[in-house]
Amino acid sequence: MIHRVFSSTLSSFKELNFHQGLNVLLSEKSTGATERQTRNAAGKSSMVEIVHFLLGSDCNKKSIFLCPDLITHRFGLKFDLTSSQIEVERAGQEPSRIIINKGDTSSWPVASSLDKKTGEIFLSNTKWKEILGKIVFGISTEWPRFSPTFRSLISYFARRMDVGGFKNPKQQSEKQAECDQQVAISFLLDIDWDIPREIEEVRQKENSLKILKRELKSGVLGSVIGTASSLKTKLTIVERRFKKLQQEINSFHVLPEYRELEHEASELVLKINDLSNQNVIDEESIREIEEAISSEKPPKQTEVRKIYKEAGIVLPDIALKRLEDVERFHSAIVSNRRSHLKGELDTLRNKIDKRRREMEKIDQRRRQNMEILNTHGALDQSVKLQQELNRLHVEVEELRRQHEIAEKIETTGADLSIERKQLYKRLIDDYKEQEELLKEAIITFEDLSSELSEREGSLTITPTERGPEFDVQVEAKRSRGITNMQIFCFDMMLIVLCQKRKTGPGFLIHDSHLFDGMDSRQVAKAIEIGARTAEEHKFQYIVTMNSDMVPFAEFSKNFRFNDYVLPVKLTDATVDGGLFGFRFD
């Protein structure tokens, strides 16, 4: 229950004091004033804004508390919080600071702080919302994301026109997401709100998956990652190369003298080639000498005589004797030449044999070097191989990571579909288990609707794969008046159910905008229903109205409307007639 709305610094502010049950803040609307002028001048909607401001709403750049005429002033709220009356203040120039003036804070889940300079007890607006959530609705800060929040829940009990709070019953702000509606209403109806919360988790994953799939097909991500099948092929090939190189490195032995042996082996090959070339030359010389030996013959004496005879010369005996000497001389020359050639031949053959033996010895050393070189490697080769192995390892891990991502993207859709159907099944089962709670909500709404209008409205609660669907239906053409009637019944239903469970704020505030579009008989019935229901279920019902909207002629004979009107009356007829005591834009 709210006891007081005030300002400790703005003397012209018209303090409002409230009581149990129905409270009507009445405003006189002057002839010709626009709706905006009336709101700014009289301050009916501003009263609702002050309540929200003191209950932790954001103070954004559009907030009235940041306008130059109000930014330095403090506004206060005195209300029941558990069994204690709490009085708090807040100013636009320090919107994150909540001042605690009065009340027992010993049981609060968050401790307040003391300002040593001013002696004031204060806490941050964030902590203030945490306290309000815990005490008013039993909200835990340890709950996961998309869980109910104090600000989302309290806004059903004090709707605001400026944020679109009167668009439809289930939405307290036009920016309120579907998930937040489902979770908040489920919480207030005391049915399992965690199922729509989990459905929202699935919805978020599905949205992310759609983006990833779109990027895989045509975006940058596709060029970086690729499909799971193509990545699997690349991964298989690179893994094979990696394992093969790893095996080679495991059998690789580093030889410090590798380069020396490699150089020696090259020199040995050169020596073998040089010796082989020399042998080729000498073997050619041997063939020439052998040919010379076989062709060398001394001239025959008979042939000499034959020549002389044919010339007609008869040789004397002395000449023949000398001819025989010449013949012996020639034979001796030929014999000596052959002996010399044979010596040369033997020398060449000995050189060739010696070279061959040396070549075998050198080749044996070369083979030893090659065996060592084939089974060992140089240190720089080992380093290069290890560097290549490291590079392949990084490539394998990156491909494996990309493959996991691509595979997850391609399989997550099926997993999410299964998860969504499982949640849908859980939702159906929960509604069967909570049938009595659902019936209570439906009947409460229907009773209020049938009393308010001849066209009975009905509340339907349907489990769907997208979460619970809350729908209000009336057998009439939809209009602003019909929608506002639905909102009235919906909000009354919520406060009644919360009062039965001893949870919630204990108050319901309806701005005058709620009655726009209703005919006078419906406005009268709504006020009477609100007064009776508040008294029956012991909650506070605060209504702001323009005086020209009060349907005095339509009230029941026993209903005393003026008994509920607050002493403070607002007007836009004078400069100081509004809630703040002055006009501002």
Mark whether 30 and 149 lie in a shared domain.
yes
Is 226 inside a domain boundary? no
Which residues, 6 or more positions from 153, have their beta carbon under 8 angstroms from its beta carbon?
Answer: 136, 137, 139, 184, 187, 188, 504
Local structure of 503: helix, strand or coil: coil
Are 26 and 492 contacting, i.e. CB atoms less than 8 angstroms apart? no
Residues 7, 149, single domain; the answer is yes
Identify the segments of the chain with pLDDT beneath 70: 30-42, 215-228, 248-249, 251-265, 296-327, 329-330, 332, 334, 368-385, 410, 455-456, 474-479, 585
Distance CA 38, CA 544 (A): 12
Q: Are 361 and 468 in the same domain?
A: no
pTM: 0.71
Which CATH number characterizes residue 37's domain?
3.40.50.300
Say if 577 falls within a structural domain.
no
Report yes or no on 215 lying in a domain.
Answer: no
Do 168 and 27 lie in one domain? The reply is: yes
For residue 38, the model assigns a pLDDT of 45
- On whether residue 427 sits in a domain, the answer given is no
Q: What is the pLDDT of residue 298?
A: 60
Same domain assignment for residues 183 and 288 = no
CA dihedral of 33, 36, 38, 42, whole degrees rounded to 10: -160
Same domain, 126 and 54: yes
Domain boundary among 376, 410, 425: 376
Pick left, alpha or beta for residue 56 (phi over 0 → left; psi -120 to 50 → alpha; otherwise beta).
left
Quick count: other Cβ atoms within 10 Å of Cβ 267? 11
Domain contains 512:
yes
- Tokens representing residue 171 in the block: 């939405």
pLDDT, one tens digit per residue, over 368-409 is: 666 665 665 555 565 666 777 788 788 888 878 777 777 777
Are residues 456 and 537 located together in one domain of the fold? yes
CA dist 222 and 225 (Å) reads 5
The domain total for the chain is 2
Sheet holding 94-102, edge to edge: 16-17, 2-6, 74-81, 84-91, 94-102, 121-124, 113-114
Are residue 348 and residue 453 in the same domain, yes or no? Answer: no
Same-domain status, 41 and 128:
yes
Distance between CA atoms of residues 166 and 172, nearest Å: 7
Task: Give me the amino acid identity at 346.
Answer: D
Among 353, 376, 399, residue at a domain's last position? 376
Identify the pLDDT of residue 364.
79
504, part of any domain = yes
**Residue 149 lies inside a defined structural domain of this protein:** yes
pLDDT at 313: 57
Same domain, 368 and 443: no
Q: Which residues span the domain enclosing 353?
A: 258-376
Q: What is the pLDDT of residues 117-169, one digit of tens each?
A: 889 999 999 999 999 999 999 999 999 999 999 999 999 999 999 899 999 99
Q: Which tens digit of pLDDT belongs to each residue from 441-494?
A: 999 999 999 888 776 678 999 999 999 999 987 665 566 788 899 999 999 999
* Alpha-carbon span 16 to 3, nearest angstrom: 8
Instruction: Give SS3 for 189.
Output: coil
516 in any annotated domain: yes
Domain shared by 124 and 266, yes or no: no
Which strand (E) or helix (H) includes residue 339? helix 317-375
Helix axes 520-537, 480-500, angle to 10 degrees: 10
* 51 lies in the same domain as 180: yes
